[in-house]
């Protein structure tokens, strides 16, 4: 790929290629935008088909974190790391210690965290070399398992979407179809059950489904049937790209709000939801509870403070819906606009500050 052309097109700031022969480290750190603050984004370890594929993934993910952090109201920019390798057999202490030294060399421009293929234990090793890492063990001041906080954010965002669709944000009596009942979704189901919602669930893990049935009185359906059930709200909490040509016509819900990443297979499917009058809560806005939670570690973790910030996901989804109506655009585009407008306001503010500083300096030298 033409790296500089791609970076120029989407206005990336920096890419760092990291290699350590002894440990086998091959990593790409990508910093997209630091207008709002240092770049925060996790480290992914994956067996990529090629180096180009790894670079492209790092670029794509870093830009996504800029939007996610901005829309969440965090004073953080977007970045991401990918490590090329098999997370099941290629890891070693030296690798993550070496990687930590590369992060330290960026002097706080980039802060990392867990992602696909990396663990708390890996973050602990990075922490031995640099303080610019979140998601470490609670013994080092971490926030611990982020799943419950992510779930709480999705719950809050779902209520905001319900307000738009039904004129009330109460979920009592609403029928909610939850696709996937993993760690985040189970806690989400708990919130929904406690508010009095009726649940329909599915998952490839039959034990997870049975647990939801027993704990929350949920109704279980087959994996392929979750799209067409009669429900008020559809909550995708498993795989991405589940809003696609095959599923979109089956959906009967008035709201789509769930924890899964990249729910739209293509942007045109977001356009279709808008035309159908379905209120779609963009995934990177509604599932930002996890990143909000780890970001609080940078100030010395305080769970009460973190949860209060996560509660604002309600307001963020409401803002996305307001922009969607204001500009007559689908909510997935409105989410981007929310993030871009915040970044642009800060960019203009900083530019004005620099102009004022130069004016003062010029006046003193006359």
Band the pLDDT of 136: cuts 50, 70, 90: very high
Which tens digits make up the pLDDT trace of 89-129? 999 999 999 999 999 999 999 999 999 999 999 999 999 99
Q: What mean pLDDT, rounded, does the chain reach?
A: 95
pLDDT of amino acid 292: 96
Let me know if 226 is exposed, middle or buried by CB neighbors in 10 A (0-12, 13-18, 19+).
buried
Annotated binding residue 100: no
Annotated binding residue 16: no
358 has a pLDDT exceeding 70: no
Band the pLDDT of 140: cuts 50, 70, 90: confident
What number of CA atoms fall less than 13 Å from residue 154's CA on the CB side?
33
253 has a pLDDT exceeding 90: yes
pTM attached to this predicted model: 0.90
pLDDT of amino acid 153: 98
Q: How large is the average pLDDT for residues 48-67?
A: 96
Kind of pairing between the strands at 233-236 and 43-46: unpaired
279 versus 362: the higher-pLDDT residue is 279
Class of domain 3-57+77-137: alpha beta
What is the number of other CB atoms lying within 10 angstroms of the CB of residue 50?
9
pLDDT of amino acid 351: 67
Band the pLDDT of 366: cuts 50, 70, 90: low
Band the pLDDT of 142: cuts 50, 70, 90: confident
Domain boundaries in the chain? Answer: 3-57+77-137, 146-288+317-340
Which tens digits make up the pLDDT trace of 162-219? 999 999 999 999 999 999 999 999 999 999 999 999 999 999 999 999 999 999 999 9
Annotated binding residue 201: no
pLDDT of amino acid 144: 80
The token pair at 182 is 């993993």
Annotated binding residue 153: no
Annotated binding residue 98: no
Is there a contact between 269 and 292 (Cβ–Cβ < 8 Å)? no
The CATH code belonging to domain 146-288+317-340 is 3.40.50.720
pLDDT of amino acid 2: 92
Annotated binding residue 64: no
Same fold, 3-57+77-137 and 146-288+317-340: yes
Band the pLDDT of 360: cuts 50, 70, 90: low
Which tens digits make up the pLDDT trace of 302-350? 999 999 999 999 999 999 999 999 999 999 999 999 999 999 999 988 7
1 has a pLDDT exceeding 90: no
Q: How large is the average pLDDT for residues 244-272?
A: 97
Rounded CA-CA distance 217/177 in Å is 13
The residues annotated with a catalytic role in the active site are 80
48 versus 145: the higher-pLDDT residue is 48
359 has a pLDDT exceeding 70: no
């Amino acid at each position: 790929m033409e790296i500089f052309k791609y970076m120029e097109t989407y206005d990336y700031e920096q890419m760092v290629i990291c290699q350590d022969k002894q440990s086998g480290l091959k990593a790409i750190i990508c910093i997209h935008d630091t207008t709002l603050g240092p770049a925060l984004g996790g480290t992914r370890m994956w067996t990529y088909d090629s180096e180009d594929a790894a670079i492209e993934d790092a670029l794509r993910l870093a830009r996504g974190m800029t939007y996610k952090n901005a829309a969440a109201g965090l004073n953080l920019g977007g970045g991401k790391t990918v490590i090329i390798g098999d997370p099941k057999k290629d890891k070693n202490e030296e690798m993550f210690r070496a990687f930590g030294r590369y992060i330290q060399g960026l002097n706080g421009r980039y802060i990392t965290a867990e992602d696909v293929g990396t663990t708390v234990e890996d973050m602990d090793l990075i922490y031995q070399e640099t303080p610019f890492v979140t998601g470490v063990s609670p013994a080092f001041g971490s926030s611990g398992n982020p799943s419950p906080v992510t779930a709480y954010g999705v719950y809050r965002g779902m209520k905001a979407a319900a307000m738009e669709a039904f004129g009330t944000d109460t979920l009592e009596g609403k029928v909610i179809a939850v696709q996937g009942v993993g760690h985040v979704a189970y806690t989400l189901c708990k919130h929904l059950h406690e508010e009095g919602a009726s649940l329909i669930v599915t998952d490839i893990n039959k034990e997870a489904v049975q647990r939801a049935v027993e704990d929350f009185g949920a109704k279980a359906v087959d994996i392929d049937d979750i799209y067409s059930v009669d429900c008020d709200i559809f909550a995708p909490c498993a795989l991405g790209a589940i809003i696609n040509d095959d599923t979109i016509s089956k959906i009967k819900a008035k709201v789509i709000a769930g924890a899964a990443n990249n729910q739209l297979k293509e942007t045109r499917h977001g356009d279709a939801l808008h035309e159908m009058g379905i209120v779609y809560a963009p995934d990177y806005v509604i599932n930002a509870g996890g990143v909000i939670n780890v970001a609080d570690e940078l100030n010395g973790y305080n769970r009460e403070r973190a949860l209060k910030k996560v509660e604002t996901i309600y307001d963020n989804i409401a803002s996305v819906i307001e922009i969607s109506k204001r500009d007559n655009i689908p909510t997935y585009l409105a989410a981007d606009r929310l993030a871009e407008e915040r970044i642009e306001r800060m960019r203009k503010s900083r530019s004005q500050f620099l102009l004022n500083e130069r004016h003062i300096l010029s006046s003193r030298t006359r």
